[in-house]
Amino acid sequence: AQSVTQPDIHITVSEGASLELRCNYSYGATPYLFWYVQSPGQGLQLLLKYFSGDTLVQGIKGFEAEFKRSQSSFNLRKPSVHWSDAAEYFCAVDFFSGGYNKLIFGAGTRLAVHP
Amino acid sequence: GAGVSQSPSNKVTEKGKDVELRCDPISGHTALYWYRQSLGQGLEFLIYFQGNSAPDKSGLPSDRFSAERTGGSVSTLTIQRTQQEDSAVYLCASSRGTSGYTDTQYFGPGTRLTVL
């Protein structure tokens, strides 16, 4: 069955520190992967996506993610975190069936940033 | 439009009342999705529309939930006889509806529903 696991429910980092949010997926076919960010009281904003090609993808706000098929992972990284990055982050796999796409989300990782 | 919009942003209702949640997708997007975000359940798929038809209603949690889409644009999610467990944030997303894997969903700000 298709699933997404985000092992870390909460992460706290200091401003300026590097960040890595983990995501592991289970999917029978070639996965199409997304990271979304949700600020308090807001909807989901697309950070980046992986469909094919280069396994290191760049997104908005200085984020990047690396697809590793051998590890079934799609971890999100940022070299230097800003206080405005405090939010909840969701990894998702695109389950394509019946001619349309349905996103399957992980449980989310809530990021806190200390000054 | 510039993005997906949803109304109301917040809705407080009493148990047993009916509620309607509205979604305006991005102009030109033919695919529309509803998701629910609740504590303990995370983000759950509810229903998908392609144009005005809903080929997949598998995620609707009960027959109290229904949705429609008119004119290939605006969608309404209706919850009848609301229960406290219906309290959640209801998110709408739209996409171009192109065939294949590379269709990206864009989300609205959500409607926070509280059932007292």
Residue of A nearest to B93 (CA): A44
Residue of A nearest to B112 (CA): A41
Q: Is some CB atom of chain A closer than 8 A to the CB atom of B18?
A: no
Chain-chain contact of B55 with A98 (C-beta, under 8 angstroms): yes
Beta pairing partners, B11: B113
Taking the CA of residue B31 and the nearest CA in chain A, the distance in Å comes to: 9
Chain-chain contact of B56 with A98 (C-beta, under 8 angstroms): yes
Taking the CA of residue A51 and the nearest CA in chain B, the distance in Å comes to: 7
Mean predicted confidence (pLDDT) in A34-54: 90
Choose the closest CB to A100 out of B4, B50, B109. Answer: B50
CATH assignment of B5-97? 2.60.40.10
Taking the CA of residue B43 and the nearest CA in chain A, the distance in Å comes to: 6
**For A50-74, what is each residue's pLDDT tens digit?**
988 889 999 999 999 999 999 999 9
pLDDT band for position B101 (cuts 50, 70, 90): low
pLDDT band for position B39 (cuts 50, 70, 90): confident
**For B14-27, what is each residue's pLDDT tens digit?**
999 999 999 999 99
Whole-number pLDDT of residue A51 = 86
| pLDDT winner (highest mean) among A93-97, B42-46, B112-116 | B112-116
Taking the CA of residue B36 and the nearest CA in chain A, the distance in Å comes to: 11
| Higher-pLDDT residue of A66, A40 | A66
| Higher-pLDDT residue of A33, B72 | A33
Choose the closest CB to B108 out of A43, A51, A98. Answer: A43
Q: Which domains does chain A have, with CATH numbers?
A: 3-114 (2.60.40.10)
Give A28-92 as a DSSP string: SS---EEEEEE-TT--EEEEEEE-SS-SEEE-GGG-EEEEEGGGTEEEEEESS--GGG-EEEEEE
Strands A87-97 and A100-105: antiparallel
For testing contact with chain A, the best of B53, B104, B112, B114 (most A CBs within 10 A): B104
Chain-chain contact of B42 with A107 (C-beta, under 8 angstroms): yes
Mean predicted confidence (pLDDT) in A35-40: 93
Whole-number pLDDT of residue A101 = 73
Q: Is the dihedral of CA A112, A75, B40, A94 positive or negative?
A: positive
Chain-chain contact of A44 with B107 (C-beta, under 8 angstroms): yes
CA distance A107 to A95: 16
Chain-chain contact of A42 with B106 (C-beta, under 8 angstroms): no
Instruction: Round the average pLDDT of chain A to a whole number and report it.
Output: 92
Residue of B nearest to A50 (CA): B102
Whole-number pLDDT of residue B18 = 98
